[in-house]
Chains A and B, each alone.
Chain A
């Protein structure tokens, strides 16, 4: 269980996390989503006591992490993929961590095996690939068999096989009754892994919801309509209280009423329909919509940013 209350972090004048309150419950995978620079890593560092909140507080299992008697047995975290001395071996890195919480030495070997690093356990970690570093970080998080786990972008740098493995691991950890909190800026990845999501933008909480809840929101459901009498149809729909958007291809995107109501309306007004198709927004789109306006670092709009200095047509 992780509970944040009014968590705020300023770096100088920069507000990285702003009055963030949320709770992460055990037994499910909770995704932590937000665009680049939205404050996910900062929040996770505050949970682990690495960064001090400017205001607010966060509790793990009802108490501050500083009060943990055997910290590795309570909370495990993968915060940076390569928080390791390049000259130290994977085994030595895990051993020195294990010793702080008086864990048995064979625990290190068990975890090296679990993450598939046994063969390279005694090599300098500086020569590890990003994916191997990520596995080592996961092993470190699991060392003390903790009930609460934090992963900051755990699939970053992993191959498809590794991504699948992490996905299964996270689900397995949660189904065991642990609290699993995973950050990502990829909604598609979270859709496959998480049961709940906490979405932030510019350090603010935007939404804490279940994945299913996010998908079934009315704003996410729309109907695409084509008709030779599109203008008459639009007027009629707006009278009914629907919102409409004209698309470039001549179709109309209708929200607020379902396809049956649109068909009935068209029939009663004698309007011919060429297409009437319900659309479900992808989670990616849901995410984009929610975080729009809170993008910190936005790429240039591609259609408006010609790569060559062409003359206007």
Chain B
């Protein structure tokens, strides 16, 4: 998929007179195409009938006839299922739970798919944007060249990738509720907050690794596409490293925001809608406020904070790191509310 996107990007390079409108149209088409492919693949896999080979021998433990008031009923010798290892000392720990969470994450396909989509969209959109800019470089006005920021342009895919990772964050929680897995898990580990903490830890590691990978790869790919005469940057350019690392942290934080929202809302569709609404609809609503208020409110919104974080030299009200702390505040708030509800509501 990444290959397709890079190929599409090179097509844009080949046509130097393209407009920005074409690029955005192309991006939207690509997003739709990726979503359709993913849905089709999932559908196809679900439809496959189960391979024959249904349970054969019911029990390998010996059954013996055993007279009983209710007729000739055999008794299963349960020695076959006796657990011979004695229980370890102490009690189950966060590490046991984290191990279990990791098993859960890696054994469903949706994890792999959302990660593939995160990487593909993040890289692909950045590649298209940078390649297109390079192609139009000769026709750019001096003022737009003056204000050109190669770093944030190469990280622009963030704003698409954040949706994919948000979906992953939602699904690791909501899929457990919709399938009932969560109840099986709480029967095995009744300390719900510890289970949540283990989930958050495992998800954070996965999200940070994926997001930083997307971020660095987008930056490096984008800068290589912005070849001379276009202005480009390296990781040594002042502010570049911070912006790239910050970009990865921003994406990770949004994944955790999705996870926290799902803890509160529990339903996949509703939680995903809320997540998307916060990033896309809320800014539009805020724009409808009187201008003096709108500006103040607007800078507290996650997407605006993210936009500041991927710039090398923030010309904004919050410095990138203050912005990031505000974002972390939202994430913590959502997850704390989720944790409180977790032990108040029936599972």
Report A102-122 residues with CB < 8 Å from chain B CB. Answer: 102-104, 107, 110-111, 113-117, 119-120
Q: B139 on the interface (CB 8 Å rule)?
A: no
Report B91-116 residues with CB < 8 Å from chain A CB. Answer: 91-92, 96-97, 99-101, 103-104, 107-110
Q: A289 on the interface (CB 8 Å rule)?
A: no
Complex contact B96–A50 (CB within 8 A): no
Give the contacting residue for A71; candidates B76, B107, B189; CB below 8 A.
B189
CA distance A115 to B56 in the complex (A): 9
Complex contact A171–B73 (CB within 8 A): yes
Complex contact B346–A50 (CB within 8 A): yes
Complex contact A52–B346 (CB within 8 A): yes
Q: Which listed segment binds A: B17-25, B45-53, B212-220, B325-333?
A: B45-53
A99 neighbours in B (Cβ, 8 Å)? 96, 99-100, 103
Quick one: CB contact mask for B3-42 with A, threshold 8 Å, 1 for yes? 0000000000000000000000000000000000000000
Complex contact A120–B188 (CB within 8 A): no
Complex contact A89–B107 (CB within 8 A): yes
Q: Which listed segment binds B: A126-134, A230-238, A271-279?
A: A126-134
B107 neighbours in A (Cβ, 8 Å)? 88-89, 92, 95-96
Given A132-B54, A169-B76: A127 touches B49 (CB 8 Å cut-off): yes
Complex contact A116–B58 (CB within 8 A): yes
Complex contact B81–A96 (CB within 8 A): no
Taking the closest CB of chain A, its distance from the CB of B59, in whole angstroms, is 6
CA distance A80 to B186 in the complex (A): 13
Complex contact A102–B92 (CB within 8 A): yes
Complex contact B87–A83 (CB within 8 A): no
A14 neighbours in B (Cβ, 8 Å)? none
Taking the closest CB of chain A, its distance from the CB of B13, in whole angstroms, is 39
Given A79-B187, A99-B99: A73 touches B83 (CB 8 Å cut-off): yes
Q: Which listed segment binds A: B128-136, B156-164, B173-181, B315-323?
A: B173-181
What class of interface size applies to chain A in its complex with B? 35 or more
Residue of A nearest to B178 (CB): A85
B69 neighbours in A (Cβ, 8 Å)? 212
Complex contact B57–A83 (CB within 8 A): no
Taking the closest CB of chain A, its distance from the CB of B107, in whole angstroms, is 4
B183 neighbours in A (Cβ, 8 Å)? 45, 50, 79-80, 83
Given A50-B347, A65-B190, A167-B73: A110 touches B81 (CB 8 Å cut-off): yes
Complex contact B75–A171 (CB within 8 A): yes
Give the contacting residue for B78; candidates A116, A172, A192; CB below 8 A.
A172
Quick one: CB contact mask for A66-93 with B, threshold 8 Å, 1 for yes? 1011111101010110111111110011
Given A51-B347, A104-B85: A140 touches B184 (CB 8 Å cut-off): yes
Complex contact B50–A123 (CB within 8 A): yes
Complex contact A168–B75 (CB within 8 A): yes
Q: B304 on the interface (CB 8 Å rule)?
A: no
Q: B82 on the interface (CB 8 Å rule)?
A: yes
Report A166-216 residues with CB < 8 Å from chain B CB. Answer: 167-169, 171-173, 175-176, 191-192, 212
Q: A156 on the interface (CB 8 Å rule)?
A: no
Taking the closest CB of chain B, its distance from the CB of A245, in whole angstroms, is 30
Complex contact B187–A50 (CB within 8 A): yes
Complex contact B96–A84 (CB within 8 A): no
CA distance A95 to B187 in the complex (A): 14
Q: B74 on the interface (CB 8 Å rule)?
A: yes
Residue of A nearest to B57 (CB): A116
Complex contact A119–B189 (CB within 8 A): no
CA distance A126 to B107 in the complex (A): 13
Residue of A nearest to B69 (CB): A212
Q: B70 on the interface (CB 8 Å rule)?
A: yes
Q: A255 on the interface (CB 8 Å rule)?
A: no
Report B108-162 residues with CB < 8 Å from chain A CB. Answer: 108-110
CA distance A127 to B51 in the complex (A): 9
Taking the closest CB of chain B, its distance from the CB of A243, in whole angstroms, is 30
CA distance A162 to B59 in the complex (A): 10
Q: B43 on the interface (CB 8 Å rule)?
A: no
Report B299-347 residues with CB < 8 Å from chain A CB. Answer: 346-347
Q: B80 on the interface (CB 8 Å rule)?
A: yes
CA distance A79 to B190 in the complex (A): 15
CA distance A99 to B90 in the complex (A): 15
CA distance A66 to B191 in the complex (A): 7
CA distance A79 to B88 in the complex (A): 27
A87 neighbours in B (Cβ, 8 Å)? 108-110
Residue of B nearest to A194 (CB): B70
Complex contact B76–A172 (CB within 8 A): yes
Complex contact B70–A70 (CB within 8 A): no
Q: B290 on the interface (CB 8 Å rule)?
A: no
Taking the closest CB of chain A, its distance from the CB of B9, in whole angstroms, is 32
A123 neighbours in B (Cβ, 8 Å)? 50-51
CA distance A122 to B29 in the complex (A): 36
Give the contacting residue for B48; candidates A92, A127, A212; CB below 8 A.
A127
B85 neighbours in A (Cβ, 8 Å)? 103-104
Q: A308 on the interface (CB 8 Å rule)?
A: no
Taking the closest CB of chain B, its distance from the CB of A313, in whole angstroms, is 45
Q: A144 on the interface (CB 8 Å rule)?
A: yes
Complex contact B180–A82 (CB within 8 A): yes
CA distance A200 to B49 in the complex (A): 41
In the A-B complex, the 9 residue pairs with the smallest Cβ-Cβ separation, listed nearest first, are: A116-B55, A145-B83, A83-B180, A92-B107, A127-B50, A172-B76, A69-B91, A99-B100, A96-B103
22 residue pairs from A and B, CB less than 8 Å apart: A45-B347, A48-B190, A50-B346, A66-B190, A79-B184, A80-B183, A85-B175, A92-B104, A96-B103, A96-B104, A97-B184, A100-B189, A102-B96, A104-B85, A107-B83, A114-B80, A126-B46, A127-B50, A132-B54, A168-B73, A169-B76, A171-B73
Interface residues of A (CB under 8 A from B): 45, 48-52, 65-66, 68-73, 75, 77, 79-80, 82-89, 92-93, 95-97, 99-104, 107, 110-111, 113-117, 119-120, 123-124, 126-129, 132, 135, 140, 142, 144-145, 161-162, 165, 167-169, 171-173, 175-176, 191-192, 212
